[in-house]
Structure 1
Amino acid sequence: MSRILLGVAGGIAAYKACELLRRFSEAGHEVTVVPTPAALNFVGKVTWEALSGRPVATEVFSDAHRVNHVMLGRQADLVVVAPATADLLARAAQGRADDLLTNVLLTAHCPVMMAPAMHTEMWQHAATRSNVQTQRERGVVVVDPASGRLTGADSGPGRLPDPDELAQIAEVLLEDPSIATRGQDLHGRTVVVSAGGTREPLDPVRYLGNSSSGRMGMALARAARLRGARVRLVRAHTEVATPSGVDVVDVGTTAELDQAMSAAVEGADLVVMAVAAADFTPARTATGKIKKDRDSGLTLELQQTTDVLARLGAGRSGGRPTLVGFAAETAADPDRLLELGRSKLARKKADWLVLNDVSGGKVFGSEGTAVTVIGSDGSAVEAAGSKELCAHRILDVVSARSPNADAND
């Protein structure tokens, strides 16, 4: 069980922190809520205590004998501030200690994660941007807000990301606190990620597809954005939410994927093909629903689709962009699996191949995974854990050893 301190600043998005608190509690974490006085105008103390099952301190001088302004930060495994308002970001950047939450931020020895939420003009103001940069330089993980409906009729960037996304980022920081030290190591780079599974239509209601949930691709897009990259996400069918702060292009078929990737890779530094693209498509798509003909069955004529990864590999100039492929393979033993992976890496002319062993139905749709990152230099690095953690491990490997690693630094 981990100890999470959930700080809540005074913005309308404070109500969403109730859902975040619920997710933390259901995951088995011990959660202490520290709302600012302004936050209590939106969600009351009784609500926080009822949801957390723990007392809520709101003032520096409450329970002074416990020295809460020091002990709360010291004892936490993770501090999450959601929402972090413009005011809270400014006070934290200045190192002020004028309420209990800012005192906690000065005493915490654990990773600190902030999720800003405010109106677009406030988020884009030079003062706020400077405060965010200051926090990131100090090692604070600042999650960019989502775009969408804000208070009143306004829409734009500044919306608190979905609690599920914030919970996933928090979980990976608990799983490996050193991720917070990566900072903005991909700042200035453009990363293209494809995710999900393509679908090839048989008729207006049926398709050929696969079991990809899109979790790994979404985790990679989220990790790259968290680490400062500009992220272009080419999204096929997925079962999970899309990370905030990324540019999205939706595709259905492998042909559409091929077209979208041709455009997306322009000017990219790193391309990660995590999509599960269909290898075959019907030679003909029926314009009407195919009817059952008693018990005679159905014969389909299939043709191969474009090998998008191989086309990208063959079309590169000067080894740019760095190209990472994925391969889901089945094999009788690990040696055979590596053999299959190295062969595919060479055929696709990629720099890296992330190899998944899916023997016995493993990996697809699950929260966790185990992969081997194979390099064209002969290296092989294993990673295991949640898909969120493995996404960071993959980025660690390919960014550190990429020939383009310093291209935009």
Structure 2
Amino acid sequence: MQRKRILLIIGGGIAAVKCPELIRLLRAEGVAITPVLTEAGAQFVTPTAISALAGEAAHTALFDLTREAEIGHIQLSRAADLVVVAPATADLMAKMANGLAGDLASTLLLATDKKVLIAPSMNVRMWHHPATQRNLTQLREDGVATIGPNAGDMACGEHGLGRMAEPAEILAAIRAQLADGPLTGKHVLVTSGPTHEPIDPVRYIANRSSGAQGTALARALRDLGANITFVTGPASVPPPEGVKVVPVETAQQMFEAVQNALPADAAIFAAAVADWRVANASAQKMKKDSTGTAPALSFTENPDILATVSQMGAGRPALVVGFAAETENVQAHATAKRARKGCDWIVANDVSPESGVMGGAHNTVTIIDAAGAETWAQMPKVQVAQKLAERIAAQLTKETS
């Protein structure tokens, strides 16, 4: 991390007392630090102490006339390689999620064009409050990365989630954000999770996809430096941090989100998208009648997202990868799917109930491309994702060299 610069925003929480240690660790690795304290943050650690540790003046006021004559807040927000907010209080998270800019810290966060990493810290009840969780969801959708919070005893005497991550943990997260990987500068679109196709306002048709493989893949691609747009159905696993998250429910919504996310250097379609939707979905909950006759459902085909992107011609991603979830004749069905859809690769796996793949932690995949089929041994989904991400990076690097 030599010669990297971090804009460190220190919020107003007791966890601010951990920031001197974080600054020490960063400077030991050759990182330059521009510190900014909120008014409340300066109540826990003084600007004088932070300036001395960082080796640079600590900024606190938006209306510093000398600096603002040069549009100082814009310069500060763009000069760093990464913006780190520690502690990220409930108040700061709310300002970020809602685009408020009433002080120097929030103005910098709104004006920056750099990656942002936050280390939340607050009372356990504040962390679990619906407003905070809504703000957290919005920040993740905006591509803000998070580290923590951890569970433990708090200064207020309560116990639970809300402790800011330790300085060493924040340092590791900063390393990951600043890493220059083979996919740096590449935009990769990843879809994940199931889709829910409504029958009525209460019921829907879905599948057992947890979204674990797609999430792990998006995380692995992010760690190789890619800028990720993550379009996800209602998965049971949380989305990865530090990517742009686009939540959807239905196949039609996923189709539209994918179109809006293009252009991309690569598109990875790991979502388990429903092939059909209910054409005669009811606007009201369906009721039983006295005859006990089940309602007749009429189906219509959903948009074929993989085929549409694979065959789009101008603007097509350089690499399009589909997934094939099969229960029999896995390789044969997946090979036929690749030819039918027109994608570059198919990642095929056996999702029959006895395999335990859907909702499980392990996967066995076969990669099918123009050269043939390559079957990998069973391994955790995280390892599958890492190996596949490296293969994607190698392909994109070869195509641009």
Q: Is 1:214 aligned to 2:214, yes or no?
A: no
Task: Give the TM-score taking structure 2 as reference length.
Answer: 0.61
Query: In the TM superposition, what is the alpha-carbon distance from 1:354 to its structure 2 partner?
Result: 0.7
| AA partner of residue 277 (structure 2) | T
- Return the match for 1:337 from 318, 330, 333: 330
Q: Which runs of 5+ in 2 are unaligned?
A: 1-9, 32-58, 60-72, 97-115, 120-145, 151-164
Alpha-carbon separation, structure 1, partners of 2:388 and 2:149: 22
Query: In the TM superposition, what is the alpha-carbon distance from 1:85 to its structure 2 partner?
Result: 2.9
Distance 1:326 1:39, change over 3 A: same
Alpha-carbon separation, structure 1, partners of 2:358 and 2:234: 14
Q: In structure 2, what is the equivalent of residue 355 of structure 1?
A: 348
Query: In the TM superposition, what is the alpha-carbon distance from 1:318 to its structure 2 partner?
Result: 7.8
- Return the match for 1:395 from 382, 389, 399: 389
Q: In structure 2, what is the equivalent of residue 150 of structure 1?
A: 88
Q: Is 1:346 aligned to 2:339, yes or no?
A: yes
Alpha-carbon separation, structure 1, partners of 2:394 and 2:200: 46
Asked if the contact 1:255/1:306 (under 8 Å) is kept, the reply is: yes
| AA partner of residue 274 (structure 1) | A
| AA partner of residue 251 (structure 2) | T
Alpha-carbon separation, structure 1, partners of 2:29 and 2:79: 13
Distance 1:397 1:299, change over 3 A: same
Query: In the TM superposition, what is the alpha-carbon distance from 1:89 to its structure 2 partner?
Result: 1.6
| AA partner of residue 338 (structure 1) | Q
Q: Deviations over 1:116-135 (max 9, x none)?
A: xxx9x9xx878863xx8xxx
- Return the match for 1:224 from 200, 203, 221: 221
Q: In structure 2, what is the equivalent of residue 23 of structure 1?
A: none
Q: Is 1:279 aligned to 2:278, yes or no?
A: no
| AA partner of residue 158 (structure 1) | L
Q: Is 1:159 aligned to 2:159, yes or no?
A: no
Asked if the contact 1:89/1:128 (under 8 Å) is kept, the reply is: no
Distance 1:188 1:199, change over 3 A: same
Q: In structure 2, what is the equivalent of residue 302 of structure 1?
A: 299
Q: In structure 2, what is the equivalent of residue 373 of structure 1?
A: 367
Query: In the TM superposition, what is the alpha-carbon distance from 1:298 to its structure 2 partner?
Result: 2.8
Q: Which runs of 5+ in 1 are unaligned?
A: 1-10, 17-37, 42-83, 95-118, 133-143, 174-178
- Return the match for 1:92 from 22, 29, 44: 29
Task: Give aligned pairs, total.
Answer: 284
Asked if the contact 1:199/1:209 (under 8 Å) is kept, the reply is: yes
Alpha-carbon separation, structure 2, partners of 1:370 and 1:13: 48
Query: In the TM superposition, what is the alpha-carbon distance from 1:242 to its structure 2 partner?
Result: 1.4
Query: In the TM superposition, what is the alpha-carbon distance from 1:406 to its structure 2 partner?
Result: 4.7
Query: In the TM superposition, what is the alpha-carbon distance from 1:278 to its structure 2 partner?
Result: 0.5
Alpha-carbon separation, structure 2, partners of 1:340 and 1:252: 27
Task: Give the TM-score taking structure 1 as reference length.
Answer: 0.60
Asked if the contact 1:194/1:233 (under 8 Å) is kept, the reply is: yes
Amino-acid identity (%): 31
| AA partner of residue 195 (structure 2) | T
Distance 1:203 1:269, change over 3 A: same
Asked if the contact 2:255/2:303 (under 8 Å) is kept, the reply is: yes
Q: In structure 1, what is the equivalent of residue 63 of structure 2?
A: none
Distance 1:148 1:91, change over 3 A: closer
Query: In the TM superposition, what is the alpha-carbon distance from 1:265 to its structure 2 partner?
Result: 2.1
Asked if the contact 1:199/1:252 (under 8 Å) is kept, the reply is: yes
Q: In structure 1, what is the equivalent of residue 182 of structure 2?
A: 185
